[in-house]
Amino acid sequence: MVYGIIRLINFAHGEIYMLGAFIALIVAGALTIYGFSGWAILLLAALLAAVYAAAYGYTLERIAYRPLRDAPRLSPLISAIGMSLFLQNYVMLAQTPDFLPFPALIPEFGFLEPVAHIIGAAEVVILVTSAVLMVGLTVLIRSTRIGKAMRATQQDMTMARLVGIDVDRVISFTFIVGSVLAAIGGVLVGSYLGQINFAIGFMAGIKAFTAAVLGGIGSIPGAVLGGLVLGLTEALAAGYVSSAYEDVFAFGLLVLILILRPAGILGRAEREKV
């Protein structure tokens, strides 16, 4: 999403996801002590993680990307990698270099009992949340005033200024929305996998980017489809070949897509009349 608007691969996006998971872990720990339970912990932890992540995302853009807006494209990219490394090491020093157990924040549902061996509550919650967020994001971008401003900024930043759009605010908003989504992802996946550490954002960021490229960058359903294709490829590779090779297959798929269909599965080629 950020890439769509300012043509910057936000390498620190995965770190926001990781920060979201850490904040949720801390909040969940505190809430458990105070005797909260079940859904309340999950919702409060996710909410606080989202708020913190929004603040981090906003700050990240202000200090690391905005000063480089008019610089050559490589400069903000390097700045992004720098921020990614900084945030990883900051969390490693402030927290711990080891894996921490992450509580299963998603409670079990009684009515899923009969199918529990096929699909658990965590999977259902993750699927439903993803679907809701995808629809929400699509509506935001298609139909709201700020969504229209985002698309205009993406297509022609100077012209967006000339119609009176405050481009800086639109970009900040984009980072905030992206960061909130990353944090929610971090909380859900952390809860699903049961452990987190300072480096989980790195692979997640690269995989998310791969999924976005697979699906067609800038397309929301494309990103979801790309994620599914990527996940299935990994699972099949792990099942039929060896789990040691799942990343090989994932990135091999990326290379194939880039060669055969650079615009992605649902993407459109960037060509237009002028």
Partner 1 sequence: MLELRGVQAGYGRIQALREVTLTVGGGEIVTLIGANGAGKSTTLMAVCGIVPAQAGEILFEGESLHGLSPEAIVRRGIVQVPEGRRIFPRLSVLENLELGAFLRRDAAGIRRDLDHVMELFPILADRRRQPGGTLSGGEQQMLAISRALMARPRLLLLDEPSLGLAPLVIRQIFAIIRRINAEGTTVFLVEQNANQALKLAHRGYVLENGRTVLADTAERLLDNEDVKRAYLGI
Q: Binding to partner 1 by residue 156, rule CB under 8 A? A: yes
What is the maximum span of the chain, computed from C-alpha positions, in angstroms? 62
- Please name the residues in contact with 25: beta carbons below 8 A apart, sequence gap of 6 or more: 45, 100, 102, 103, 190, 196
State the nearest-atom distance from the C-beta of 262 to partner 1, in Å: 18
| CA distance to 75, 107, 112, 192, 240, per residue, from 180 (Å) | 25, 22, 29, 18, 36
- Please name the residues in contact with 266: beta carbons below 8 A apart, sequence gap of 6 or more: 215, 216, 219, 221, 222, 225
Q: Binding to partner 1 by residue 171, rule CB under 8 A? A: no
Among 144, 148, 258, 261, interactor with partner 1 by CB under 8 A: 148
Please work out, in degrees rounded to the nearest 5, the angle formed at the alpha carbon of residue 66 by the alpha carbons of 65 and 67.
95
Q: Binding to partner 1 by residue 158, rule CB under 8 A? A: yes
User: Could you count the other beta carbons within 10 Å of the beta carbon of residue 3?
Assistant: 17
Q: Binding to partner 1 by residue 72, rule CB under 8 A? A: no
Please work out, in degrees rounded to the nearest 5, the angle formed at the alpha carbon of residue 40 by the alpha carbons of 37 and 41.
70
State the nearest-atom distance from the C-beta of 267 to partner 1, in Å: 13
Among 93, 132, 135, 159, interactor with partner 1 by CB under 8 A: 159
- Number of residues located near partner 1, criterion CB under 8 A: 19
Task: Give the C-alpha separation, 125 to 17, whole Å.
Answer: 18
Q: Binding to partner 1 by residue 149, rule CB under 8 A? A: yes
Q: Binding to partner 1 by residue 145, rule CB under 8 A? A: yes
State the nearest-atom distance from the C-beta of 69 to partner 1, in Å: 14
Question: Of 33, 19, 2, 7, nearest to 184 (Cα)?
Answer: 19
Q: Binding to partner 1 by residue 163, rule CB under 8 A? A: yes
Q: Binding to partner 1 by residue 108, rule CB under 8 A? A: no
The interface region with partner 1, picked from 4-12, 184-192, 233-241, 266-274 by CB under 8 A, is 266-274
The interface region with partner 1, picked from 40-48, 73-81, 82-90, 152-160 by CB under 8 A, is 152-160
Say if residues 56 and 201 touch (Cβ distance below 8 Å).
no
Q: Binding to partner 1 by residue 274, rule CB under 8 A? A: yes
Q: Binding to partner 1 by residue 196, rule CB under 8 A? A: no
Nearer to partner 1, 102 or 173 (CB): 173
Say if residues 231 and 246 touch (Cβ distance below 8 Å).
no
Nearer to partner 1, 112 or 137 (CB): 137
State the nearest-atom distance from the C-beta of 8 to partner 1, in Å: 20
Where does this chain bind partner 1 (CB under 8 A)? 145, 148-149, 151-152, 155-156, 158-166, 272-274
